Amino acid sequence: MLWKVATFNVNGVRARLDRLLAWISEQHPHVLCLQETKCQDAVFPRQALEALGYEVLVKGEKSFNGVAVLTQETPESVVMETGDPLLDREARFLAVQVQGVWVINTYVPQGRSPDDPAFQYKLDFLNQVGRWIQERFSPQDLLIWTGDINVAPEAIDVYDPKRLEGEVGFHPEERAKLKEIMAWGLVDLLRRLHPQAKQFTFWDYRLPKSFDRNLGWRLDHMLVTEPMAHRCAECFVDTGPRGQSKPSDHTPVVAVFDMSSLS
């Protein structure tokens, strides 16, 4: 059975609903993780997504952040609150177990600037996501940590590594922290499958023509345990949505797993 999981930072789910629905109708992921829904649960466009055959799990707040997980199959488990005050402080973390696989959807704090308290919050948040995973799972479990991780792991993952070195999203402390967490047993799926590909997932609105000039960052990831990596049939960035009118500044990452294959 081929099983498709995707992540998409929509930058406002209400403002982007028509393009989100169109994209879902193209790709029909079994599981779709959304970030930056930017609305309270009461005004989340739940119905429109349910009409496409999804169960809709939302964790929103007013104006900022907000994550959601859409699943074609009913999850076996749902984690709305981790119990960790840092992870639960804003609407940035939502985990489900579906079809036997744990899917952890995060919207990692952007960090503002390396000298801002928000940067330490980002490092702490990453650290606590790592701890949360490592305390509950083993690297042999079927697990995907996905979402807007807001860290470009390597020089190849930003449009100008020399110029951007040290900026939020490409700061050595973030990269080290991410690497440290992944050393436990998480594979950067896109990079594993496409070792040399410049595949960005984010292009800043504020940089003129950033998408046309491909001045992007790879900030959205599929970080998976080896058993999931072995089952992966493909992993790709779909740049389609970013090229359309009034796009999100991010574009989706999609992974397809063959869940009938041997581990």
Active site residues: 107, 148, 250
The interface with DNA within residues 42-61 (CB under 7 A) comprises 43
Phi, psi of 58 (to 5 degrees): -125, 145
The interface with DNA within residues 13-32 (CB under 7 A) comprises 13-16
Stretch touching DNA by CB under 7 A, among 20-28, 152-160, 204-212, 253-261: 204-212
- Contact status, residue 216 vs residue 159, Cβ threshold 8 Å: yes
In the sheet where 55-59 sits, what is the strand order? 55-59, 67-71, 31-35, 2-9, 253-258, 232-237
| 212 annotated ligand binder | no
For DNA, the closer CB: 83 or 208: 208
The strand ranges marked E within the chain are: 2-9, 31-35, 55-59, 67-71, 77-79, 93-98, 101-107, 143-148, 187-188, 202-203, 216-217, 220-224, 232-237, 253-258
The CB-of-35 to DNA minimum distance in angstroms stands at 10
For DNA, the closer CB: 26 or 205: 205
Does residue 239 bind DNA (CB under 7 A)?
A: no
Does residue 206 bind DNA (CB under 7 A)?
A: yes
| 88 annotated ligand binder | no
Please select the residue that binds DNA; options are 4, 21, 27, 40, rule is CB under 7 A. 40
Percent of the chain that is helix, strand, coil (3-state, to 5): 30, 25, 45
The CB-of-55 to DNA minimum distance in angstroms stands at 22
Number of Cβ atoms within 10 Å of the Cβ of 20:
25
Query: At 31, is the secondary structure helix, strand, or coil?
Result: strand
The CB-of-120 to DNA minimum distance in angstroms stands at 13
**How far, in Å, CA of 132 to CA of 37, rounded?**
23
For DNA, the closer CB: 3 or 121: 121
Does residue 174 bind DNA (CB under 7 A)?
A: no
The residues that touch DNA, with contacts defined as CB under 7 A, are 11-16, 38-40, 43, 62-64, 109-110, 112, 118, 205-206, 208, 246-247, 249
